Amino acid sequence: MSRFKAVVFDWAGTTIDFGSFAPMGAFVETFAKFGVETTIADARKPMGLPKRSHIAAMLAEPHIAAGWQKAQGSMPDEAAIDAVYEIFVPLNESVVKDYCTLVPGTLDAVAYIRGKGLKIGSTTGYTRSIMERVLPLAAAQGYEPDNLVCADDLPLGRPTPIGMYT
């Protein structure tokens, strides 16, 4: 394994929050605040995208767009994406602390990787403000990666590989 320098992990659903429940509930609750019914399955479909792009993808789904038009009186546009995002981020910030338990096996995997002399990198679809709440909780459980790239750290985030290069 000497040709490798690092292993890069995602966060929600990979190293913490088995099942990735924190953002799912926050998406459903946020859309409900606008009078639009969504499901956990709707919220899971664009998983992995930065959260603003995730909201845009959800609003592009025909049944969600129709629900938005019915509740808000117009089809979703950039202003709608911004409005949902403004509600979503603080809500996700407030609930993420309840979902920061490490996924079973994370510490064993990290110890094995570090034992091979490799660094631990991390990337996430979460914003930096959300991760400011996650990092100390993960550290208290023994998980501290060497690097973190958040969705809002770069102009082009997921699904491009730029976060990985960083």
Start-to-end C-alpha separation, the chain: 21
Q: Residue 35, by phi and psi: left (phi above 0), alpha (psi -120 to 50) or beta?
A: left
- Give the span between the Cα atoms of 59 and 158, in whole angstroms: 18
Which DSSP state fits 16? B
The count of C-alpha atoms lying within 13 angstroms of the C-alpha of 117, restricted to the half-sphere facing its C-beta, is 5
Catalytic residue set: 10, 51
Could you tell me if 159 and 48 are in contact, meaning their C-beta atoms sit under 8 angstroms apart? yes
Which DSSP state fits 12? B
- H helix runs in 15-77, sequence order: 21-33, 40-44, 51-60, 62-72
